[in-house]
């Protein structure tokens, strides 16, 4: 895995877009209500990811069972920043944690988990930069659902269109359809806490 960690996202002055993939049973009601409603569960951890192409790799372009619908979830920057401030890395990291024991103690008490995974190209190859995914535990998920979420959009038709173009080798037509993601600014203290190496 690359040592270069950077948050890249589609964001504006007040909000940021994160992506999730769900079954139609969960995605349909969420899109209709423009927020998460049953059968979405508030009792388990949910992972949010600002990298569109990372989620495409994860969901195999919305073809994996239970991940057939790709949602763009627009949340407040205040909520995203709150999650980052509460985040604890999923592995012991030099320069962030004093030692293995202190990391384990911090991780066990964390309500937000943060993990870095290789960013992807449009063809699914790993890049020399890592993308962030943020796990919201059941202890904070109500804030995500009730306070942070601004809107939910179904991107599945766009996902299928881009994937069809990629499969056909028409990358020059597929690339402009990707969401515009750019570096997301974070305070220095959070950058250190989450091992962000590129700002």
**Bigger pLDDT: 1 vs 171:** 171
Is the CB of residue 75 less than 8 Å from the CB of residue 50? no
Burial class (CB in 10 A: 0-12, 13-18, 19+), 179: middle
What φ, ψ does residue 83 adopt, rounded to 5°?
A: -60, -45
**What's the mean pLDDT in 13-27?**
98
- Average predicted confidence (pLDDT) for the chain: 94
Reported in sequence order, the residue ranges of the chain that DSSP labels E, i.e. its strands, are: 8-9, 15-22, 46-48, 69-76, 87-89, 112-120, 126-136, 149-154, 182-183
Please state the φ and ψ torsions of residue 92, each to the nearest 5 degrees.
Answer: -65, 130
Summarize pLDDT for 160-169 with one digit per residue, the tens. 999 999 999 9
Q: What are phi and psi of 82, to 5 degrees?
A: -65, -45
Which pLDDT value is given to residue 19? 98
Residues 6+ apart with CB under 8 A from 195: 5, 89, 93, 95, 96, 116
CA angle 4/58/159 to nearest 5° reads: 110
Dist CA 78 CA 89 (whole Å): 20
How distant is the alpha carbon of residue 167 from its chain centre?
24
Mean pLDDT (whole number) for 137-152: 97
Dihedral sign, Cα of residue 158, residue 129, residue 191, residue 184: negative
pLDDT value of residue 139:
94
pLDDT at 176: 97
pLDDT in tens, 30-78: 999 999 999 999 999 999 999 999 999 999 999 999 999 999 999 999 9
Per-residue model confidence as pLDDT tens digits over 78-121? 999 999 999 999 988 777 777 788 888 888 899 999 999 999 99
Residue 22 has pLDDT above 90, yes or no: yes
**pLDDT on residue 104:** 86
Q: What is the pLDDT of residue 198?
A: 59
Phi, psi of 9 (to 5 degrees): -160, 160
Residue bearing the bigger pLDDT, 117 or 199: 117
Read off the pLDDT band of 2 (50, 70, 90). Answer: low
pLDDT confidence bin for 184, thresholds 50/70/90: very high
- pLDDT at residue 199, as a whole number: 47
Nearest to 156 by CA among 68, 33, 73, 75: 68
Helix (H) or strand (E) holding 197: none
């Amino acid at each position: 895995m690359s040592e270069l960690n950077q948050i890249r996202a589609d964001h504006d002055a007040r909000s940021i877009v994160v992506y999730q993939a769900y079954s139609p049973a969960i995605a349909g009601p969420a899109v209709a209500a423009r927020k998460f409603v049953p059968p979405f569960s508030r009792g388990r951890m949910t992972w949010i990811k600002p990298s569109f192409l990372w989620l495409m790799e994860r969901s195999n372009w919305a073809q994996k069972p239970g991940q057939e619908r790709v949602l763009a979830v627009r949340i407040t920057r205040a909520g995203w920043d709150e999650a980052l401030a509460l985040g604890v890395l999923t592995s012991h990291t030099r320069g962030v944690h004093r030692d293995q024991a202190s990391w384990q103690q911090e991780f066990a008490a964390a309500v937000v988990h943060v993990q870095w995974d290789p960013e992807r190209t449009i063809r699914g190859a790993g890049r020399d930069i890592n993308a962030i995914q943020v796990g919201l535990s059941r202890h904070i998920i109500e804030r995500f659902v009730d306070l942070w979420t601004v809107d939910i959009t179904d991107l599945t038709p766009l996902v299928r269109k881009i994937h069809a173009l990629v499969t056909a080798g028409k990358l020059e037509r597929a690339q402009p359809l990707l969401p515009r993601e750019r570096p997301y600014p974070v305070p220095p203290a959070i950058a250190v806490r989450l091992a962000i190496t590129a700002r």
